Amino acid sequence: MLNFLAILLCFLAAADAPPSPRRDAVVVTGVYQPVPLEEADRAVKVLETGPLLPLSNAVVDVLRLDPSLDVRQRGAGGVQADLSIRGGTFGQTLVLLDGLRLNDAQTGHHNLDLPIPMEALSRIEILKGSGSTLYGSDAVGGVVNLITRAPETSEFRLRAAAGNFGVNQQRFSLSAVKGRLAQQFAGTRDFSSGFMPNRDYRNLAWVSNTHFSSALGGSAILVGNGDRPFGAGNFYGNYPSWERTRTWFASARQDLGKKTQAAFAFRRHADLFVLFRDRPEVFTNRHAVESYQAVVRHSEQAGRNTRLHFGIEGLRDSIVSTNLGSHARTTGAAYAAVDFRALGRFSFSAGLREQVYGALRSELSPSVAAGVWLSRRMKLRASASRAFRLPSYTDLYYHDPASQGSPNLRPERAWSHEAGLDWHASTRLRGSVTAFHRRETDGIDY
């Protein structure tokens, strides 16, 4: 059992004047419907990627700008990194692309193997704290949602760079807009011979992102691919290792009127690991993971200040591995939530999710959140929720001379409670302080 506690004390003075809501930034992560950032009753942060493009070559570089995130990077160029939030493990952070899962069923070490260049992103939304009611497994410490850019104008952008250690980079973005159709192609090529022996890398990624509208509603189709061969010297011990990961991702989202949205996504991840680069016959592992997910979400106005939200989801993942064997699992989930907002001052939401997996085993994930404006610029918020993480295939089945997985592992479970104070001075100046407590059971230390 693990306990996490962070305490921050502050003195609050309430004012009588109601707030004047601003509409400068809208968030979609950690909330049941898009709301302005200051109206979210959870700790949500937005990182705009556009201004950072000249300075950042990878999503990992952007995430490192938030000091509250623990980003542990192996090697340069963003070839591999682990992300944890609020003291969780790298497997307890859920990564999404436009609200659809990117997490890898083999191991959380591959969650940031992103099949999309920075040029295709608009912003990154970060939910700090559990999010299993909305997103299911893995959302224990937090959620990172990568939001793609919907082209608004036709343009072409090209960047190139070169430097020491054989650094050679090219990046492009081509957008075209005509009538109801908007199309973007983006790609990146990032090579280096390495700052030390066996730290070379060759990163390639491309994406096609299509948006169009019809009488039925908005549609979006995304296809992306990433390929990363890299020297992994000392990544997993004192060995001259080498690794290559490849990721394919495709998704389709369709608005069915103004109240309903359906989405489908496919992800494939291939991992080739060689323990001794110059002697692959000693120890080589090959893994291939495929996952399919389908989501339907619906919202209904139940009153002047109240909205109801419902959703169903299905997920199937499978693995074929020289070490882990061949396995597959299917999960299904349904959730319902109510969101109440009144007088431009008070807000309250409650949700419940039931996720079924295995032989009719299930996990229940309730949550409640509330907020109240103390003044025109200051808001008090609080929440409580339950989250879980299903064991990865590595947790269940990995074996080598020093380690042995267990197929009898149970899901990790955690209750989280938090309270926070947000200060919104302007659209450019904000501050927040949060105290949180998380209590975990059945933790997997691997």
How do residues 385-438 score in pLDDT, each as one tens digit? Answer: 999 999 999 999 998 888 889 999 999 999 999 999 999 888 788 899 999 999
pLDDT at residue 2 tops 70: no
Share of the chain above pLDDT 90, in %: 75
Q: What is the mean pLDDT of the chain?
A: 90
> Which tens digits make up the pLDDT trace of 105-133?
999 999 999 999 999 999 999 999 999 99
pLDDT at residue 58 tops 90: no
Quote the CA–CA distance of 289 and 317 in Å, as a whole number. 7
Contacting residues for 9 by C-beta, under 8 A, at least 6 apart: none
| pLDDT for position 57 | 79
pLDDT at residue 1 tops 80: no
Which of 20-24, 179-183, 262-266 comes out lowest in average pLDDT? 20-24
Cα-based angle 381, 362, 253 (whole degrees, multiple of 5): 70
CATH superfamily entry for domain 2-441:
TonB-dependent receptor, beta-barrel domain (2.40.170.20)
Every domain of the chain and the residues it spans: 2-441
pLDDT at residue 4 tops 60: no
Quote the CA–CA distance of 85 and 30 in Å, as a whole number. 14
| pLDDT for position 249 | 98
Position 24 confidence tier, pLDDT thresholds 50, 70, 90? low
> Which tens digits make up the pLDDT trace of 203-218?
999 999 999 998 889 9
Contacting residues for 137 by C-beta, under 8 A, at least 6 apart: 94, 331, 355, 363, 388, 389, 390, 411
DSSP 8-state secondary structure symbol assigned to residue 390: P
Specify whether the CB–CB gap between 233 and 239 falls below 8 A: yes
Specify whether the CB–CB gap between 293 and 18 falls below 8 A: no
The closest alpha carbon to 28, from 110, 103, 100, belongs to: 100
Q: Name the 3-class secondary structure at 132.
A: helix
pLDDT at residue 286 tops 90: yes
Which of 42-56, 283-297, 315-329, 344-358 comes out lowest in average pLDDT? 42-56
Q: Which residues pair with 254 in a beta bridge?
A: 219, 262
